[in-house]
Amino acid sequence: MSKKIIIIGATSGIGEELARQCVNKEYHVGGTGRRLEKLEQLKKELGNYFYYTAMDVTDHAKAKAQLHNLIDEMGGMDIIVLNAGISNYPASSITAMEQKIIDVNVSGFVQMFGEAFQYFRKQGYGQIVGVSSIASLFGSSRAAPYSSSKAFISTYMQAYRQRTNNMKEDITVTDVKPGFVKSEMTEGKKGMFWVGETDKAVKQMLKDIENKKSYSYVTRRWRFVAWLLKLTPNWVLDRL
């Protein structure tokens, strides 16, 4: 039977390409994002296998209700991909910008994770995929709230993986750590290297999801960077 996957943040970049590749594999795909017009375009492109609802993960109660409506419409959920994230936000002050990143990447993530976790617990199985980043592995002076928000979600997922390992329910927690990947988020940004093609990164990510991996590094060469970063002493990281 076709798998049912819901992608939170499917309106561009990695999430949009994941929706496309999953439909190509005959998954039933639920896509969300704030931009309804992008979801409508995707529906036209992807057809009957694609379901959607507009959603803002910072509007917690509404987003949870919308998630459950989408699950009902699709007749269930086997996998949820928590992909929604921002690295910048136009705001009147640095504090307001940083708060917004935390609202989306941390609070929005935790709320959706919790809802999916309870759903899978009742169901007895499921997979939660969180899209973190290589940036989770070190504090970045150019992206303090972003890198620390990703560190939060990776640590959070590790803690939940420990929990699920000791539970009777069969719940997998997959931490995806992309390096640089082409998307709206990276468009026009300076100082990037090894920028992966979106379709290649997503193909690798989907393979790891299907193999129920705990960690997924995409594109693959970023596994090497992750390994190097883990070996690098803090006094070196502090000077980056």
Residue numbers at the binding site for ligand NAP (CB under 6 A): 9-15, 33-35, 38, 55-58, 83-86, 104, 108, 131, 133, 178, 180-181, 183-186
* Token digits of residue 194: 């090894």
* Token digits of residue 152: 């939060």
C-alpha to C-alpha distance for 58 and 20, rounded to whole angstroms: 25
By beta-carbon proximity to ligand NAP, the closer residue of 74 and 104 is 104
Residue 30's beta-bridge partner residues? Answer: 6, 51
CB of 135 to ligand NAP, least distance (A): 6
CB of 239 to ligand NAP, least distance (A): 23
By beta-carbon proximity to ligand NAP, the closer residue of 12 and 158 is 12
Distance, C-alpha 235 to centroid of its chain = 30
C-alpha to C-alpha distance for 77 and 35, rounded to whole angstroms: 22
In this structure, how many other beta carbons lie within 10 angstroms of the beta carbon of residue 69?
14
By beta-carbon proximity to ligand NAP, the closer residue of 53 and 127 is 53
By beta-carbon proximity to ligand NAP, the closer residue of 79 and 131 is 131
CB of 198 to ligand NAP, least distance (A): 7
C-alpha to C-alpha distance for 75 and 49, rounded to whole angstroms: 12
CB of 5 to ligand NAP, least distance (A): 15
CB of 183 to ligand NAP, least distance (A): 3
By beta-carbon proximity to ligand NAP, the closer residue of 165 and 214 is 214
Residue type, position 211, single letter: N
Instruction: Answer yes or no: are the C-beta atoms of 84 and 133 closer than 8 Å.
Output: no
By beta-carbon proximity to ligand NAP, the closer residue of 35 and 163 is 35
CB of 238 to ligand NAP, least distance (A): 22
Angle between helices 13-24 and 198-210 (to 10 degrees): 60
Q: Position of tokens 């939940």?
A: 160
